[in-house]
Chains A and B, each alone.
Chain A
Amino acid sequence: METLSFRHAARQRTAGSRKLALVGVVASGNLEVLAERVLPDTECQVEISTAAEGFGAVWGAVVADFVDRHSPGGLKLSINDGGARPDTVSLRLAQAVRSIAEEAR
């Protein structure tokens, strides 16, 4: 198992007031993303736990691209990876931001 961690600056705070969101399932080719609003507004962090070792550079690129597009300021995003392809990872990260950006129920 490999654990990776990426910290980035974010342009702006993630919208909405929800503190927590979870998307996805840990199954083959899939992943779960837990989003927590626990960081300062202009910071974000993505932590990954994955059984596929040695793909740090790919994860780094996916995360950097995601941060650039979505500016997830204030969020810590924690991933349990079931062996997902990069586009699935991007999808789930975007879904997680979308979900936490809603107004709290």
Chain B
Amino acid sequence: MTAPQPQAERPLASRNSPVSWYEASARARVRLLLDAGSFQEFIGPEMREASPHLRVFDLPEQFDDGILVGRGSIGGSPVFVAAQEGRFMGGAFGEVHGAKLTGLLRAARDVKSIPVLILFDTGGVRLQEANAGELAIAEIMRAVIEARTAGVKVIGLIGGRSGCYGGGGLIAGCCSALAVSEQGRIGVSGPEVIETNRGVEEFDSKDRALVWRTMGGKNRRLLGGADAFCDDAVQDFRETALDLIATAGGFGIDSLKAEQARLEERLQTFGTCADAVDIWKAEGVPDPDDVPAMDADAFIAVANKIRRPSRDSR
């Protein structure tokens, strides 16, 4: 038997060619996002804290249960990081997976001075651990708000294979700010779930263009569901994360009231729009049909003209 010439699992990029966020594993994203060599993992894979609930389903485990959490630095400043591996069980939240993130956020709440980056890549609750997964998400949402109340910036980065769906979408909605790429999607019900429950007329899950117009990064940025749009490149996510850490607003009664007003206005203005293109047209985007095909730079320029991210209403 001959094996192909093994390549080290390193990005093929030189300094000049960008590394795809979408293609990178969770570990590669963390390694490349943070300052070189700065990452220190908490409960790493060698601790073998895998899920105790998959064996009964004859499903393989992953040593880190699909999420790595730890501390490092970005641009020289300390940061807590959590990164979901979207290719392991769809990045879904199980008991151990969720608890790692809960513990990290509670620590951030107590330390107060170190921001948190959450690299979302998840379909939501892991159905084989449904009750534990749902509870974990509820606990994470609470922990995010406790951390933000203590002054911590919690920044979500979304651009992976599994998007940010289900309970993940709710956690994202609790964050201080979100960055999303073209590949990123944010939603509660996934396309297939809507189609299964409501029929293909309601939502054709196989219509990729529809999925991306509705839930994809560009619509989220233009609608105000995400604060920044990134190219599918680790370097772009890195620069954007630094910017969001510096500029994201705080949390309190004022931000909640501003968010209520923002969401009410969205319903009033776009509540009868049948499709994302109608929203973009109503927002004054020139050539809204061209939005899906726009490259990142062109799109960012358009988005910044249409809607500056609101720092104080998330």
Q: Which A residues have a C-beta under 8 Å from some C-beta of B?
A: 1, 20, 22-27, 30, 32, 34, 36, 49-51, 61-62, 65, 78, 80-82, 86-87, 90-91, 94-95, 98-99, 105
Contacts and interface: CB of A to CB of B under 8 A. Distances in A.
Contacts of B46: 20, 34, 36
B208 interface: no
B61 A99 contact: no
Going nearest first, the 3 A-B pairs with the smallest beta carbon separation are A94-B6, A90-B3, A27-B87
Contacts of A90: 1, 3, 6
B25 A91 contact: no
B9 A23 contact: yes
Contact of B87 (A1, A25, A62, A65): A25
Contact of A49 (B7, B8, B9, B61): B61
Contacts of A36: 46
A61 to B, nearest CB: 7
Interface string B16-34: 0000000001010000000
B58 A51 contact: yes
A25 B88 CA distance: 7
Nearest to A61: B1
Nearest to B50: A80
Interface in B1-16: 1, 3-4, 6-9
A91 B3 contact: yes
Nearest to A23: B9
A99 B62 contact: no
Given A49-B60, A95-B7, 20 more contacts: A22-B27, A23-B9, A24-B9, A25-B85, A26-B60, A32-B45, A32-B62, A32-B63, A34-B45, A51-B60, A61-B1, A65-B1, A80-B61, A80-B63, A87-B1, A87-B3, A91-B6, A98-B6, A98-B8, A105-B37
A35 B236 CA distance: 32
Nearest to A28: B87
Contacts of B27: 22
29 contacts: A20-B46, A22-B27, A23-B9, A24-B9, A25-B62, A26-B61, A26-B62, A27-B87, A36-B46, A50-B60, A51-B58, A62-B1, A65-B3, A78-B63, A80-B50, A80-B60, A80-B62, A86-B1, A87-B1, A87-B3, A87-B4, A90-B1, A90-B3, A90-B6, A94-B3, A94-B6, A95-B7, A99-B8, A105-B37
Nearest to A22: B45
A15 B88 CA distance: 31
A25 B60 CA distance: 11
A27 B50 CA distance: 15
B55 interface: yes
A34 B50 CA distance: 13
Contacts of B62: 25-26, 32, 80
